[in-house]
Amino acid sequence: MDNDGRDGTDGAAALPEKRDVNFGFHQFTEGVTRYASGEREQLEWFWGYLIDELKQSREAAADALKMEWSEIYQVMTGAAKPELLEGCLEAIARLRKLEAANRTRLAETSVTRHIVEALNYAKEFCAMVSITGPTGRSKTFTAKHWARENNHGRSIYVRCPSAATRRSFVTALCRARGLNAQKKTTELEDRLFRAITARNVLILDEAGHLLPRSGRGTGAIELVRDLHDICGCAVALIFTDVYLDDMRNGAMADYYEQFRGRLKYEVSIPPLVRKDEVKAAVSVFRKSPPEKLLDFALRLARERDGRLRTLFEDLQRAKEFAQAEGREMNVEDLKVASDWRKSGKTYADEE
267-285 tens-digit pLDDT: 999 888 999 999 999 999 9
Same domain for 88 and 224? no
Confidence of residue 256 (pLDDT cuts 50, 70, 90): confident
Please give the helix or strand (H or E) that residue 288 lies within, else none: none
The residue range of the domain holding 299 is 275-343
Asked if 4 contacts 163 with a C-beta cutoff of 8 angstroms, the reply is no
More confident residue, 9 or 65: 65
Q: What is the pLDDT of residue 306?
A: 66
Please give the pLDDT value at position 94: 97
Same domain, 303 and 178: no
Q: Are residues 139 and 257 in the same domain?
A: yes
Question: Among 77-91, 168-182, 201-215, where is mean pLDDT lowest?
Answer: 201-215
Last residue of a domain, one of 233, 268, 303: 268
Q: Is the dihedral of CA 133, 226, 233, 94 positive or negative?
A: negative
pLDDT at 18: 55
Rounded-to-integer distance, Cα 312 and Cα 232, Å: 36
Distance in angstroms (rounded) separating the CA atoms of residues 317 and 315? 5
Q: What is the CATH number of the domain that holds 307?
A: 1.10.8
pLDDT tens readout for residues 105-116? 888 888 999 999
pLDDT at 347 over 50: no
pLDDT computed for residue 304 by the predictor: 66
φ and ψ at residue 237, rounded to 5 degrees = -100, 125
Q: Please say if the pLDDT value at position 2 is more than 80.
A: no
Q: Are residues 195 and 115 in the same domain?
A: yes
Q: Which among 54, 70, 102 is the end of a domain?
A: 102
CA distance 191 to 165: 18
Tell me what pLDDT residue 19 has.
61
* Average predicted confidence (pLDDT) for the chain: 87
Average pLDDT over residues 225-248: 88
17: pLDDT strictly greater than 70: no
In a domain, 2, yes or no: no
124-176 pLDDT tens trace: 999 999 999 988 888 999 999 999 998 877 999 999 999 889 999 999 999 99
User: Distance (Å, rounded) from C-alpha 75 to C-alpha 70?
Assistant: 9
**Same domain? 136 vs 87:** no
Query: Looking at the predicted structure, is the pLDDT value of residue 215 above 60?
Result: no
| Long-range contact set of residues 51-57: C-beta below 8 Å, sequence gap at least 24 | 51/152, 51/176, 51/177, 51/178, 52/152, 52/157, 52/176, 53/99, 53/152, 56/18, 56/19, 56/20, 56/21, 56/178, 57/20
pTM to 2 decimal places: 0.83
pLDDT of amino acid 150? 87
For residue 106, what pLDDT is reported?
Answer: 86
In the prediction, which pLDDT does 172 show? Answer: 95
Shared domain for 292 and 231, answered yes or no, is no
Residue 38, CA distances (Å) to 44, 85, 166 in order: 10, 12, 36
- Averaged pLDDT for residues 293-306: 87
178 and 232 in a single domain? The answer is yes
- Domain end, chosen from 79, 102, 125, is at 102
Residue 13's pLDDT is: 40
Number of structural domains the chain divides into? 3
pLDDT score recorded for residue 11: 40
- Whether residues 264 and 280 fall in one domain: no
User: Is 300 inside any structural domain?
Assistant: yes
The Cα–Cα gap between 201 and 265 comes to 14
Average pLDDT of the segment spanning 187-207: 95
**Dist CA 332 CA 21 (whole Å):** 48
Least confident of 18-22, 40-44, 235-239: 18-22
